[in-house]
Amino acid sequence: MLNLSCYYDEVLEKRKIPFGKQEIDDDMDKVSALKRKFKDISEIKVGDGWEYPFNYEQGMKELDEVLLKYIPFFEEER
């Protein structure tokens, strides 16, 4: 995604890109924010047990929503 954002105009000259540059940049921001959430996960003591304040499954779903839409584009590149 980073290369696609940085070299958007050059890639666009060679092939059709189904995403706008701003959409790619926004998606990279979302992925970065999710990365920080995953990286900063820490357990908190709740009663006699431990819990994570971040919902891992929800985070994975949010990450999938961003990344899965790029798979067909990058598969065509091969």
pLDDT tens by residue, 9-63:
999 999 999 999 999 999 999 999 999 988 888 888 888 988 887 888 898 999 9
User: Is residue 41 helix, strand or coil?
Assistant: coil
- Quote the pLDDT of residue 28: 96
- Quote the pLDDT of residue 32: 95
Ramachandran category for residue 47: left, alpha or beta (phi over 0 → left; psi -120 to 50 → alpha): left
Residue with tokens 């003591």: 45
62 contact partners, CB below 8 Å, separation of at least 6? 30, 34
d(CA 58, CA 76): 29
- Quote the pLDDT of residue 67: 94
- Quote the pLDDT of residue 78: 65
d(CA 16, CA 37): 33
Amino acid type, 53: P
Domain segments of the chain: what residues? 2-76
Predicted TM-score of the model (pTM): 0.78
